[in-house]
Structure 1
Amino acid sequence: MDKSVKDLFTDPEITAKIQTKFPILFHMAEEETKRDGRIGMEVGTMRERIVVSLLIYYFGEQRVNTHVPTTEAEKDVILDNIPISIKTITSKSNYNYGGVKVSWTVDAAKAKEFADNYTPTCDILFVQISWANIGAFYYIPKKVQQDVLLTLGSESFIKLPKAGTNPRGIEFSNTAFRLLCENKETFKLAIDWKKPDVQIDVYQKWIELWQQD
């Protein structure tokens, strides 16, 4: 029987690997995107690649389609024809779910139109990073999102950017995303986010490539 996304949260071998590897790999992503001590915005792309690489490693390259147009509002990767959206946030506490993006639409009129017509189209894989704390890795099926949206309504499910601000996209409301994560149909794997003692030389691999004949 083919493995499914749920197995990432129930297969003891892969869950142990995820719990060990995530803090190391996400720390490396942060270090590689730092400039003058500040983490760059490109860290989001690197985090997404870590999760996609996990899917390829576990399910096999033939089952994972990474050729998703950048114009797709939510879809980041496709597993067995099932679209998946990958979300990651860093928070100081494991009960704060604010700041998770639904879409990167920033135009106020388009944001309102998006919210009015929004319906979940993808399953979600969500990584909650909380250094020196317990965070988690979640699988939120599309059906769970649909149920919570129906319960709350779009105005409470989605947080629109404030008028006159320079927003960075449309977000799930803190309440909505907490309900998504706490739903009984959502899968959760606790992650102990201890920062590893790993030194990253962001230039070394490029130097080595220059040194090759």
Structure 2
Amino acid sequence: MKDQIKTGEPNTGTIIHALKQISHGIQSNIQAELKIYYKNPDKVAIQDLITEFEYTLFHLSEMKELINAITSNNWDAKTFTVNKDIYEFIESYLNNAPLHNLSVKLQNCSTRICIFRPLEIQMLINNIRHNAIKAGATELLIRCGENKISFIDNGHGFDFNKLSKNDYLKKGISTSHSTGIGLDQCVQIAQKLKANFSIDNRNDNSKGAAVTLSFQDK
């Protein structure tokens, strides 16, 4: 790849951490469904089980890619740092890794060339959209502007009466038992992109959450 630049060895620690988080998420989700079923079988709908199966298959595929990256003599390009249009990468990833129970619309109004690790961007996207699904969202709008990218869903939104915005971004805080990484690590990924990571609820009289990465080179 002509746009691939090797700026150090692939981050094995990041991959191992991702594997642990994904496997823990799968385990937690299945245990939660089983707990509900054992307590009251009538409360578990077939559609809920289908959704859980979709989550599991999707994340097993992710784990397979990560394991291949570690065991292969030729590291996958996703583990390297690249210098390319991050919005184009996000669109391509979403097209190749859809979730059937979440409709995603991308508004690509701009181009943003920057240095990033594809694996980390995938982790960030997966966290945001899985949290959206767990909050009851069926739609996710991604707006790509010149200086910021926003992820807007139609779920329940954040409960700021329960936790402040800063508390939501602290390590160990989870909005659900979703898989992937926490919002605190989304903040760290955003910092590597020289962006500020912020959360809020929608301000258009509709329910839902809004997650924004604001780039600092305005």
Q: Which has the higher contact order (CA 8 A, sep 6+)?
A: 1
Q: TM-score, normalised by structure 2?
A: 0.31
Q: TM-score, normalised by structure 1?
A: 0.31
More helix by share: 2
